[in-house]
Structure 1
Amino acid sequence: MLLAVDAGNTNLVFALVDRGTIKARWRIATDPRRTADQYAVWLHQLLELEGYSKSDVSAVIIGTVVPRALHNLEVLASKYFHIQPLIAGHGKAEWPIELDVDEPQNVGADRALNVIAAHAKHSGDLLVIDFGTATTFDVVGPSGAYRGGIIAPGINLSLDALVSAAAKLPRIAIEAPATNRVIGRTTESQMIIGIYWGYVAMIEGLTDRLKAEIGSPVKVIATGGLATLFDKHTDVFDAIEPDLTIQGLSLLHDMATRS
């Protein structure tokens, strides 16, 4: 089986993938100081809890937007799984898509992987919205080319900035308001309304502007942990794909090993 590793700015996801099907996944906070030995102890226990062992892993692919985390993940693969990992976007795992932007070298691995998976699953012009540390909007052409997009602060970053800058505001959970009313009667309700409905307005507004600029029918794909939270109160999404980045890693691995 393939061990797919997605190292994001906030979380690091390990997933066991068998012939394109995700069998198990585990998440840990991203910390570039975490050593290969620490990863190995943690992962070994989780593999056993799911009924697997490290001998079930026959290949490893790593996608990361945190360069400092890469070395210890490579050591994990070589020392504990005795596998030379593929690195998304490098060597045999170079991007199989056109990066039709002014600075292709600066495109994040997660965004390229989302494009690969979205194009494999859906046809035509696509817009991929990923709710991560940042919220990204990625435009995908009918041929699968990445044409650019938008980077906006993630909802957690927005809330952290608000709370840290205003001494009397409490820390709140990110959740949908109890009603559709937008006149809050308490400080907490006003914060929930501002964060939630403000974010919905941003998603809808930017999506409308992107569609107008693209000028042809566009299918909107949402991914990331908070996609389902917003799907309850907007009809902007045509599909929810929670594991798009991991699926992109699996597809990239298959393409790299077939060539």
Structure 2
Amino acid sequence: MILVVDVGNTNIVIGIYDDNDLVSVWRLSTDSKRTADEYGIQVIQLFAKNNLEIADIKGAIISSVVPNIMYSLEHMIVKYFKVKPVVVGPGVKTGINVKYDNPREVGADRIVNAVAAHEIYNRAAIIIDFGTATTFCALTANGDYLGGTICPGVQISSDALFERAAKLPRVELVKPRSVICKNTVTSMQAGIIYGYVGQIEYIIKKMRQEMIAMGEDQPFVVATGGLAKLINEESGSIDMIDPILTLTGLRIIYYKNKEYILKCK
């Protein structure tokens, strides 16, 4: 079995794969102040609760957009699992050709998602990840990562409204029945949710136009992340929701780097 770890600004998602089968998924809060032992204790407890054996883990891989947490996580994996993790970054084989001005600027999560989309769908694609930030990535049928767009996430937008407007309350992210609302809470919910849907639809439309102008076929739109389902209820532009797209990409990259893994043992 292998351990895959996706470190985001808000959550750390941990998956356990037995060959190609995802057997467990857990979420921890991202906290750079936690030590390797604190993370280790949490993960060991999760293993015990799910009747999994630490000794069955034969490899690990991490993608992260939070650099200052990496020492604790890498050290935790080495100490408790006795394996050296692959860290997604320069020098790691992905099968994706990054066309960014500076490829090192592209977040590891965006590359991992692109790897999974290319492997699964093998066609031009737009990949949307609804995380702390919402990212849109354009991928050609040949596996060229063209670039994309980064927007404030839905939760960030909601929090900013609450924090910067004295009379507006913090609201739950749920979809109201209409956009003509008769109280402050539903008015805010309508603006946040329906406004965000409009943003998603427009960016997808523009990216599709630009990709088709480059000679690509109509791109397939795949979305992942916690709020993908909520947004998709109102959007007609998303073709597929894949909640484990990033974990799938990590698994694929791990097996693309077998030679590197063997050298590290």
TM-score band (shorter)? over 0.9
Question: For the structure 1 residues 37 and 227, does the alpha-carbon distance in structure 2 shift closer, same or farther, using more than 3 Å as the test?
Answer: same
2:81 partner amino acid? F
Note the C-alpha offset of 1:90.
4.1
Give 4+ residue runs of structure 1 displaced > 4 Å after superposition.
none
Does the aligned pair in 2 maintain the 1:20–1:251 contact within 8 Å?
no
Does the aligned pair in 1 maintain the 2:133–2:153 contact within 8 Å?
yes
Note the C-alpha offset of 1:258.
5.5
Distance in 2, matches of 1:20 and 1:144, equals 22
Q: Which residue is 1:26 aligned to?
A: 26
Q: Which residue is 1:43 aligned to?
A: 43
Q: Which residue is 1:63 aligned to?
A: 63
Alpha-carbon deviations, 1:64-109, whole Å to 9, x = none? Answer: 1111111111101111111111111244x34331101111110000
Distance in 1, matches of 2:219 and 2:5, equals 30
Q: Which residue is 2:84 aligned to?
A: 84
Distance in 1, matches of 2:119 and 2:155, equals 30
Note the C-alpha offset of 1:175.
1.1
Q: Which residue is 2:202 aligned to?
A: 205
Q: Which residue is 2:252 aligned to?
A: 251
5+ residue gaps, structure 2: 261-265
Does the aligned pair in 2 maintain the 1:89–1:95 contact within 8 Å?
no
Distance in 2, matches of 1:126 and 1:49, equals 38
Alpha-carbon deviations, 1:12-57, whole Å to 9, x = none? Answer: 1111011122110111111111111001111111111111021121
SS across alignment from 1:172: coil
Note the C-alpha offset of 1:214.
1.1
Asked if 1:114 is matched to 2:113, the reply is: yes
Q: Which residue is 2:173 aligned to?
A: 174
Distance in 2, matches of 1:136 and 1:116, equals 15
Note the C-alpha offset of 1:129.
0.5
5+ residue gaps, structure 1: none
Q: Which residue is 2:229 aligned to?
A: 228
- Alpha-carbon RMSD across the aligned residues, in angstroms, is 1.1
Does the aligned pair in 1 maintain the 2:94–2:256 contact within 8 Å?
no
Note the C-alpha offset of 1:211.
0.8
Distance in 2, matches of 1:79 and 1:226, equals 34
Question: For the structure 1 residues 209 and 90, does the alpha-carbon distance in structure 2 shift closer, same or farther, using more than 3 Å as the test?
Answer: closer
SS across alignment from 1:233: coil
2:59 partner amino acid? A
SS across alignment from 1:128: strand
Asked if 1:72 is matched to 2:69, the reply is: no
Distance in 2, matches of 1:229 and 1:103, equals 33
Alpha-carbon deviations, 1:207-229, whole Å to 9, x = none? Answer: 11111111131110011111111
Between Structure 1 and Structure 2, how many residues are aligned? 256
Distance in 1, matches of 2:94 and 2:222, equals 21
Structure 2 length normalisation: TM-score? 0.94
Distance in 2, matches of 1:104 and 1:140, equals 14
Structure 1 length normalisation: TM-score? 0.96
What is the identity percentage for the equivalent residue pairs of Structure 1 and Structure 2?
Answer: 39
SS across alignment from 2:256: helix
Does the aligned pair in 2 maintain the 1:86–1:253 contact within 8 Å?
yes
Q: Which residue is 2:263 aligned to?
A: none
Distance in 2, matches of 1:90 and 1:123, equals 23
